[in-house]
A and B are shown apart, each in its own frame.
Chain A
Amino acid sequence: MLSLRIARPASAIFRNALTPKSIRLSSVRFLSTRYTTDHEWVSFDSNTNIGTVGITDYAQKALGDVVFVELPGQGAEVAQGDSIGAVESVKAASDIYAPVSGIIEEINETLADQPGLLNKAPQGDGWLCKLKLSDPSEFEALLNAEAYKAHCEGN
């Protein structure tokens, strides 16, 4: 478990390092992660047009122990900004908003039994759902890692 947790962020960095602009332009598959000001992340796979959605480490720390996660049904069509579910700790409930528009392809069933994954690995095993993007340009307009970091620190 521990090694997995360490491996994940490391592999994310690795992926980013391997996607220089020249490769992106050649329309070869690329994966990148972007963020919302609501403290969610989306990891987008251009080959499959699928985005994986989760909450950031910053968000899980603010929430505290997550005890319940409510997610939308598979096949649901969602528009960017829609409330699509909720993450609940003892102290509070927080909406999950669709960071991009699309159709829900898969939800992370493991969270039903292990909501604590959201605290342990918010940007790994604690992902929330995968959706097929209807408009990938929405993804491109989200915050990159640097801008998100500035958002967390700055305001």
Chain B
Amino acid sequence: MFNKLRIGKKGENIIFGTFVLLYIGWCVNSPDMNIESLKSVLTIGLSVGIIYGLVALGISLIYTGLDVVNFSHGEFFMIGAFAGLTMFNLLGNQDWIFNVFPDAYGWIIYVVCLFTAFVSMGLFGVFIERVFLRPLTKKGGGYTVAGMGIIICGFGLSVVLINVAYLIWNPVAKPFPAELGLPMEIGGLFLPITYIWMIVVGLSVAAGLWFFLNKTKMGLGIRAVAYSKDVSNLVGINVPLYISIIFGIACAIAGIGGTLVGPTYQVVVFMGYIILMKAFAAAVVGGFGNLPGAIVGGFTVGIFETASSFYISGSHKDLYAFLLMIVVLMIKPTGFFGVQVKMKA
């Protein structure tokens, strides 16, 4: 899970570096290139990137812990956004919060929404794992290569969750008007303060996860379960419980990601799918299964996507993440920090 940050083979790096230089050259030649636009591109890229990174973190965590790729992870992101929005609407018409904290009520409500999304998605993830995925492991060889049923179940869950959300919240995009203060001016553009807020919260969540996994007893148990279920059993770790915890944490992080993008973009039932695909690209770029790599990959995809749509062509925005993934897979198949691992489903 925490492979020593190994920076691949020399030849791979030279070819990859050439591509990076060519790309930078292309961007620099663009007529829009100046220091002001670069500043705003970096801000937007980093803030979008941390969202990809958070979802990729969940995908990587489930991959290392359970040995399967969770294809319904984008839907946890989407439902997390709705959970935060629901809490926001509940608190929005409570006058006493405004009376007690006249200066900071917008922030307080937003923090409560983030916390709600975190806790509710964590519990929801545990529920999904226990009810839908756990029974499948009884037939196949647990959460391993034999668990192809779980992967297909993930696709099914994705469809089911989208349609349940459609029934509850209908397909109209909903605004999330969190009052977090005036926009700031970065590089000539007035950007909502939520861009900075996304980066700060996202990085804190990632740092919190690192601390949890490395410094607490439960984190030690999670790393043990991720390495080997059998040996973990033999040292007395309750492996089924820990698998639920891993799934729950991954979903809780996705839920926070959903509530973080809410105020900047809008909350809509179909937001999960494209985020899942881009987070997948981020995880591949960073090195699949490597947790710091997921965040770095998220930043890379976010900046690449924003810079390309700014300097090259804005009408193909969704293309760039996958282009980057294909280039990385061709030249550096292990991603930035990945190591070659045994085949996992």
Q: Do A and B bind each other?
A: no
**What is the interface of chain B, defined by CB distance below 8 A to chain A?**
none
